[in-house]
Amino acid sequence: MSSQTMIHIPRWKKILIVAVCVLSVVYAAPNLLDKQTREHLQATKPSWMPVRTVNLGLDLQGGSHLLLQVEADKVVDEREDSLVSALRPELREQKISYTRILAIPQGVRVTLRDTADVPKVKAALRKMDDQLDVLVAEDGLTVEGKLTEASIKKIKDQTLGQSIEIVRRRVDETGTREPSIARQGDDRIIVQLPGLDNPQRVKELLGKTAKLSFHMVTDGSADLRESGGGLTLPMAEMPGQSLTIARTPILTGDMLTNAQPSFQQGLPVVSFNLNGVGAKRFCDVTSKPENIERPFAIVLDNTIISAPSIREPICGGAAVISGRFTVQETNDLSLLLRAGALPAPLHVLEERTVGPSLGADSVASGKKALLMAMLFVTIMMCTAYGLFGIFAAVALTMNMIMIMAVMSILQATLTLPGIAGVVLTIGLAVDANVLIFERMKEELRSGRSIAAALDTAYNRALTTTTDSNLTSLIAALILFSFGTGPIKGFAVTMSIGIATSYFCAVMLTRLMITTWLHVKKPKTIPV
């Protein structure tokens, strides 16, 4: 058996390597097209043609960075009030006499007239919330139910999670592409909006809690008793004026299934649909004879935005919110109602805007760094290993193409630290080739044939190359798991680069060298 026949790569493996390279070029190609050309292709292309590109991060294309704080303590305060509201009818139903009931920090306190009622109150509190710590004061008449630290932490975590989801919905509704929305710490949210250089409207949308409710307008003390008390709220349409409304709402925002801007009699309004429960309740309330010609208030974030009168029963689950709205206000209100109410108010703690020109400078600097890194590495490899260095340089170029292809397929976001990760993988990519070529030199010096030296070099360097890449990949995954923002971007590009560089070094370079050996059948090799 000749020395040349010792080198064998199965046909299926050759086809696989070539196919991966061709597909990489195809999927990376859209990144070379301008935006207008890509949009035209997207509208006219066949369904199989890829048009996805790598998304540029905030630091590369400009945009806005917002740091929001969630007032989770407000939710705890509301929980305290809800405990009072839930306990009062429970005591009334059980005919338990008390002198006072009020909300206290993290709980509720009730002062009884008879110590015999203490067990009943304790049972009622645990029935409302089995996580309450129920304590009896030394006087034997005062019972307190307090939320545990674990319960408070759970409430705050849920509040932050819900806030992130609502923020994401609202941002998505504005049409902002590829926003980055992430948790920071216990009560903060980072919002990055690439390509958005005027964040004012987004800030206004995110700053509104958007708690919607419908209340009957009260007209007497009997009304107040039946509705659980009254609230006096300002009117948006009439500055300086207010209305007293029933505390208990007839409808709440979570009963809405859809909201869209529309027009009624030439004026902008918001049309909405209710779910089954909301539609039945609204129909029942508006069908009562005593409610005809009676106004009801539409309340948004503790402000009455409209107070129309009930002219006829409103059944079917569809209605409109009218007022002195502009077209933009109806669009924004519809967006907020569709996205849902925030569980707690948000405040902007920090705001930064990166201009498009600064982002363009970062892109230009990143390109320059990549090109210089590839140029110097190519010169070094060609000087040290001759023709085999050229093979390594070709594999390095294909490695860059593969990285862009994978990031395009995954719709990953490329940031400035991500470019640093790509530059780092350029060095890692040729590291395996250096190990293999040096091992090949040693095998040739020991008297082996060219084919045997090549096979031995690849087989024996494979373990070292695998260990090296695996160690780097573990480090990148740890960075991704525990890092935030830019660190994650660096870890993503580094992980993709490690995988593609391993493929190019172990598979592609070997295929090129083997093909050259079979075609040229050289007596010596230029390393």
| 3-class secondary-structure state, position 449 | coil
All domains in the chain, ordered by first residue = 4-59+356-520 (1.20.1640.10), 73-151 (3.30.1240.20), 208-350 (3.30.1360.200)
| Helix, strand, coil % in the chain, rounded to nearest 5 | 55, 20, 25
216 phi/psi in degrees, rounded to 5: -75, 140
End-to-end CA distance of the chain: 25
pLDDT score recorded for residue 42:
67
Number of H helices, E strands in the chain: 16, 19
pLDDT score recorded for residue 238:
80
pLDDT score recorded for residue 484:
67
Written in H, E and C, the secondary structure of 331-376 is HHHHHHHHHCCCCCCEEEEEEEEECHHHHHHHHHHHHHHHHHHHHH
Residue 298 and residue 309: Cα distance in Å, rounded?
Answer: 11
pLDDT score recorded for residue 485:
65
Axis crossing angle, helix 450-482 with helix 486-503, rounded to the nearest 10: 160
Q: What is the pLDDT along the chain (527 residues), one digit of tens a residue?
A: 344 444 678 889 899 999 999 999 999 988 887 777 776 776 676 666 787 888 777 777 777 888 888 888 888 887 888 788 778 888 888 888 888 888 888 888 888 888 888 888 888 888 877 778 888 888 888 888 888 888 888 888 888 888 888 888 888 777 666 677 888 888 899 888 877 766 677 777 787 777 888 888 886 544 554 445 678 889 887 888 888 888 888 888 878 888 888 888 888 888 888 888 888 888 988 898 888 888 888 888 888 888 888 888 888 888 887 777 888 888 888 877 777 777 888 888 888 877 666 667 777 888 888 889 889 988 988 888 888 889 999 999 999 999 999 988 888 778 888 888 888 888 778 888 888 888 888 888 888 888 788 888 888 888 888 888 898 889 888 988 887 667 877 888 889 989 998 898 888 988 998 888 888 887 777 66
pTM here is 0.61
pLDDT score recorded for residue 5:
43
The dihedral sign for the CA sequence 14, 15, 18, 19: negative
Residue type, 213: S
**379 token code pair:** 């010169």
pLDDT score recorded for residue 198:
64
**82 token code pair:** 């809800």
Residue 8 and residue 515: Cα distance in Å, rounded?
Answer: 10
Q: 10 Å Cβ neighbour count for 145?
A: 25
Q: Which among 211, 212, 215 is positioned nearest to 296, based on CA atoms?
A: 215
**Alpha-helical runs (H) found in 174-311:** 200-207, 221-226, 276-287
412 phi/psi in degrees, rounded to 5: -75, 155
pLDDT score recorded for residue 17:
92
Q: Which among 463, 488, 464, 462 is positioned nearest to 476, based on CA atoms?
A: 488
* Distances from the Cα of 464 to the Cα of 280, 472, 502, 510, 512, angstroms: 71, 12, 12, 16, 21
DSSP-assigned letter for residue 209: -
pLDDT score recorded for residue 356:
65
